[in-house]
Amino acid sequence: MNDATLVCLNGTFIAREEAGVSTNDGAFLFGDTLFETFKAVGQKVLLQWQHLNRLERAATRLAIPFERNRIETALAQMAAGLTAPLSRLRLTLSRGPFNDLTWPAERHGYFC
């Protein structure tokens, strides 16, 4: 990472040193996440719709919350802050907090 690293956590831009995941989050407990890596040229995110469509299909199958409007807004805000001619953006989705180590019935998704 370098000084040009931008971090947006739950829609809020923060210093990368402040970024973290709670120890009761599914991402920490189980690695329960989905992610997409985007390429940006200048301030334009390439193939954004294709990436988000794929991510939304996977989130639906796994019952991971996916708020497309909120994600699109965050991507647009992130892109507006890009200063490099070529950038990589990583979007990670987590299922959110777990109260214990059991898998809640309402969170069951699609598994092979």
Q: Name all contacts of 66-71 with Cβ < 8 Å and 24+ positions apart.
A: 66/93, 70/11
Give the pLDDT confidence of 63-109 residue by residue, as tens digits: 888 999 999 999 999 999 999 999 999 999 998 888 776 665 554 44
Give the pLDDT confidence of 35-63 residue by residue, as tens digits: 999 999 999 999 999 999 999 999 999 88
Biggest CA-to-CA distance, the chain: 46
The domains located in the chain, with CATH, are 33-96 (3.30.470.10)
Cross-strand partners of 37: 90
The tokens describing 72, both together, are: 């699109």
Please tell me which residue, 29 or 80, carries the higher pLDDT value.
80
Helix axes 68-80, 48-62, angle to 10 degrees: 140
Average pLDDT over residues 4-11: 83
